[in-house]
C-alpha cells in the first residue's frame, strides 16, 4: 500500500490522464526535462515535448487504448508499475492485449524518468489475430 503523494500515486494519475485522453494533464505531470527510454526498441526521447509526442503518436495507432496498472510499488522517488495494455490496432482491426513494465523516477510530484520494458513478442503475437 502506498501513501498519498507517493511516486506510484503520481504514476497512477499520469496513466489515468493518458487513458482519458487528457493530453494537457498528461503533459503537466512530466518534468520539462523528462527522459523516456524504450528498452525493447532502443528509442529514447528527452524533454516533455518529445515524450508527449512519443506517447501520443503511439496512442494514435489504436482505438480505445487503455493501460491498467495490475501491480506496482514505490520506494522514495522510484516507482515500478506492471501495466496491461489493451486496445484495437487501427491498421489491422485487431484487439490486442500485452504487458509492459515501467520504472519511473518522480521528483516533487513530476515524472523525471521513464524506462519502459514492454513485451515485444506478446505484442507481435497479438497482431496475428
Instruction: Write the CATH number for 64.
Output: 3.10.450.50
Q: Does residue 1 belong to any structural domain of this protein?
A: no
Q: Does residue 2 belong to any structural domain of this protein?
A: no
Here the cell at position 101 is 513494465
Question: Can you tell me the distance from the alpha carbon of 108 to that of 101, in angstroms, rounded to the nearest whole number?
Answer: 23
Q: Does residue 87 belong to any structural domain of this protein?
A: yes
Q: Does residue 85 belong to any structural domain of this protein?
A: yes
Enumerate residues 6+ apart whose C-beta is below 8 A from 128.
Answer: none
Domain count, the chain: 1
User: Does the pLDDT of residue 4 top 80, yes or no?
Assistant: no
**pLDDT score, position 44:** 97
Q: Does residue 75 belong to any structural domain of this protein?
A: yes
pLDDT tens column, 41-100: 899 999 999 999 999 999 999 999 999 999 999 999 999 999 999 999 998 898 998 899
pLDDT tens column, 21-41: 999 999 999 999 999 999 988
Q: Does residue 21 belong to any structural domain of this protein?
A: yes
Neighbours of 70 (CB within 10 A): 10
Contact 106, 77 (CB under 8 A): yes
pLDDT band at 121 (very low <50, low <70, confident <90, very high): confident
The whole-model pTM stands at 0.90
**pLDDT score, position 2:** 35
User: Does the pLDDT of residue 119 top 80, yes or no?
Assistant: no
User: Does the pLDDT of residue 3 top 60, yes or no?
Assistant: no
Domain that holds residue 43: 7-126
Amino acid at each position: 500500500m502506498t501513501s498519498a503523494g507517493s511516486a506510484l500515486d503520481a504514476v497512477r494519475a499520469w496513466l489515468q490522464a493518458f487513458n482519458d485522453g487528457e493530453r494537457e494533464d498528461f503533459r503537466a505531470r512530466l518534468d520539462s526535462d523528462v527522459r523516456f527510454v524504450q528498452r525493447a526498441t532502443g528509442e529514447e526521447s528527452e524533454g516533455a515535448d518529445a515524450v508527449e509526442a512519443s506517447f501520443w503518436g503511439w496512442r494514435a495507432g489504436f482505438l480505445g487504448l487503455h493501460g491498467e496498472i495490475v501491480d506496482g510499488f514505490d520506494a522514495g522517488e522510484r516507482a515500478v508499475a506492471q501495466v496491461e495494455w489493451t486496445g484495437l490496432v487501427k491498421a489491422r482491426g485487431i484487439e490486442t492485449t500485452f504487458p509492459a513494465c515501467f520504472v519511473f523516477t518522480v521528483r516533487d510530484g513530476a515524472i523525471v524518468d521513464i524506462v519502459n520494458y514492454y513485451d515485444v513478442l506478446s505484442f507481435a503475437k497479438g497482431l496475428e489475430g
